[in-house]
Amino acid sequence: MLKSRICFTSLDLEHFGDKPGMGSLDGILAIFRQYNIPATLFVTGKILKENADLIRDLAKDYEISCHSYSHRFWNKLSEEERNSDLDQFIILYQSIFGKRPIGFRSPSHIIDEAALKALEEKGFLYDSSVVPRYPFLKKYRGYKGKAPVFPYRPSYNNYRKAGEMSILEIPAAGQLFGIPLAGAWIAKLPFLTYKFMFQISKPRFISLSIHSWDPLNNLDKILGLLKGSGYQFLNGEQIFKNYK
């Protein structure tokens, strides 16, 4: 297993509604640099195509992974459409980086067994779509029920249980009470809430994920809190390589 207190840090880059694609990217990366964080950037094919030079440059310091080509929700796509979306991304990625992508995160965290199987067949080594906990009484389209809060290999019969798949799931595991360590939550909840939660419990694995268009409120302080609490920041590839 992984050593204790790992924080998987990731940033999703996408066009979403009227949100600006690259948004607060510079500000977020400046904060990552300050803490020397080797984050994973989940980029859509559209973003990658429009910003190929910039992202090729970012790949020197960060892992670049797949956030689908089009950012359409996977529950709205047929198997054929999913496959062609992935193929389109892989071809583009290969033309820029000369290798295949190994990590995937689905738009809005919508995933299922068939999607994970398709990812395996296309050579992806890890997925980071599963939301394993969510606050009581609050709904989120990507949350379909409890799942392991540590990296695991999903079952072909139920992706929310450990099983025999070869792809590794790195879940978007939240803090206590399922409160996500993610974009809007980080920006809106008072910093003291997180500080309090980390005083009660320091889970050995957590996932911090933000969007390029998220406001930067609290991000700096939360990363400082994680570092001060003994967390090691790793990207998806590093977690995959450390997983046994």
Give the interface with Zn ion as residue ranges (CB under 5 A): 12, 14, 107
Q: Which is nearer to Zn ion, 11 or 167 (CB)?
A: 11
Q: Which is nearer to Zn ion, 50 or 199 (CB)?
A: 50
Q: Which is nearer to Zn ion, 149 or 172 (CB)?
A: 172
Least separation, in Å, of the C-beta of 156 and Zn ion? 26
Q: By 3-state DSSP, what share of the chain in percent is helix, strand and coil, each rounded to 5?
A: 40, 15, 45
24 contacts 215 by C-beta, under 8 angstroms:
yes
Least separation, in Å, of the C-beta of 51 and Zn ion? 16
Least separation, in Å, of the C-beta of 141 and Zn ion? 12
Q: Which is nearer to Zn ion, 107 or 154 (CB)?
A: 107
Phi, psi at 206, each rounded to 5°: -140, 160
- Residue 159's contacts (CB-CB under 8 Å, 6 or more residues apart) are 111, 112, 113, 116, 130, 147, 169
Least separation, in Å, of the C-beta of 70 and Zn ion? 11
What is the Cα–Cα distance from 198 to 201, expressed in whole angstroms? 5
